[in-house]
Structure 1
Amino acid sequence: MFDPQILVVDPNLVRRRKVIEACAEATTAPALFATTLDDAYQLAEVHRPSRIAITAEFTRTGEFQALLDLIHYIGADVIVYGTDEECADRTVHQINDPRGMHSLVSALTSGLGLSRAPQKQARQMEAPSQVQVRPAMQGILLIGASTGGVTALETIVGQLPHDCPPVLIVQHMRPGFGDGLIRRLDSIGKPRVRAASDRVLLENGTVHVAAGNGRHLGVVQRGGLMTQLLDDANVSGHCPSVDVLFEHGARLAGKVPVAAALLTGMGADGAEGMCRLREAGAYTIAQDRDSSVVWGMPRVAAEMGGVDDVLPIDRIADALLHGPARCRKSTYQVR
């Protein structure tokens, strides 16, 4: 499996290529590149590189601090190059001479080896507390997320038992990044995590993820509950859209217990759908402000009255599994 350890963030093609090629000559550690901070954030969330080099021009933008927060969270080393200005964050390693390729490559590759990966993995696996083992409700769990969602999803999926109710997830993500997210979630959690496919019967212990696939994810009842992929236009500005998933869940909430969580993200996708879910009798949760990277989608849902509980990310998995009694019971048994 491709396991990049170096990420270079630079919009300049010639400069970026020189850094990547110099790193390839100095080490066998795989490297990725990004041309924008948005791409860098998504790549860092999914692949967890050990070293990240960022050109100085990006440090003057508002998005840099959000990326820096993620870098600190995943435990990566960050190097800013091509500036004579002093960076306020003392954890940042600076290479002030833009022509100092040797210094930059040395900082990126020195001592970098595959032996670091198990240590990083162990630290990530220890972070979420394990959910207390109790009988999980029979039904479906729906989750929507956007900016910052990869880390939030890792926390939730890492706490789910192997026989959890079927989980359907929509994560806003650029095309091409979804497969890495799915592999990541599958490697850290007990349930099976797979890319959402059309007309697949839902089973306990399985997580279906729609991320960057350009098709909406829904769920329908055709004898049993099964996934449905739709080729419709953007809804709430996105495809796949959280609102589409939640609307489908609302249609089933009177027949099947449904619990849903709206996680960190910019905008309002999922807010209207969450209102419909709550009106239909589902149990609805919004991630709280403190644990969100961007408190947009969950905030709008709460303001619209679509939320039963606002919870920190480390409490959401337990709440989804063992929600309040008002989440309707059903004689339907998930296969």
Structure 2
Amino acid sequence: MKRRTLLASAAIALSLGTAAFAQEEITAGFIYIGPPGDGGWTYEHDQARQKMEAHFEGKVKTVYQENVPESADAERAITQMALGGADIIFTTSFGYMDPTLAVAEKFPNVKFEHATGYKRADNVSTYSARFYEGRAVQGHIAGKMTKTNKIGYIASVPIPEVIRGINSAYLHAKKVNPDVEFSIIWLYTWFDPAKEADAARALIENGADVILQHTDSTAPQAAAQEAGNVITFGQASDMAEYAPLPRVSSIIDNWTPYYIDRVQAVLDGTWTSTDTWDGISTGMVGIGEITDAVPADVKAEALALKDAMAAGEYHPFTGPINKQDGSVWLAEGEVADDGSLAGMNFYVEGITAEVPN
């Protein structure tokens, strides 16, 4: 009798399939590199968290911890969140990669999602956006609008994601303005408003009349507004409070659909480890409104470039493209594959700076 009961229970579980592991309510945790009020990277992740939570109408509780350094503190914060009962944890900065893997090994029943990393495990997924597509649009506008032919770039941490963005912006600025020059300042941090503002002022003092950034605060926008006659682009979020000038457009990170999809998978019991790298075509990368400060013809060209990438008709890294040392990277018409893009550690020909170690 006992054996038949066990067999019957097993049969029921098999007939239910993955639904047998579905959950009615879950907790989703988020680890942030900066504060939700940074106006950029963390702001957009936190907006997506709130929208995701509202979408599930009480089925999902969310928790977050802000200003978590990319150090041993990260492992402690992730561990505490797992111990606190989180069913899925999103770690939203590149430097959380190894800490995420370390904690995931200790908590095999918790699902982890790491943003912008490349290391996975059975219970660790990775996700990122093709920000370089947005940089192509920004580079086109920058190359067309600069009057000094000097473009400043405030860079955060020298990882492939940031180097890709610099190269994409430069290639598309150079394509429409052969005289353009890039000056790059590396801050070695994602979020430091004081350093970001100082970098913007230094670039402007050296003649840059366009400032691009891959840092998280609105400080460069404020510095450009203060200087006057300088244009900027919102980073990670719209930063529309600085429109129509100095901010003439933006890259907007839209994480909401992804967060809804992955949390739904946990609720359904269908979550598996995946790698996601989406861009303009899926809406994960958005281009903020191009203001009327941009000439109509330049705006039309930028939107056409965006549409071509969305349709898969154009790739920002299409040859001929040489590396900085003059060696051929991509032949005429050759398109970069994801593997080479994911590991990009070099500048393209024409950029005179050195890639930091």
Give the shorter-chain TM-score range. 0.3 to 0.5
* Normalised TM-score (structure 2): 0.32
TM-score w.r.t. length of structure 1: 0.34
Higher helix share: 2
**Larger Rg, first or second structure (1 or 2):** 2
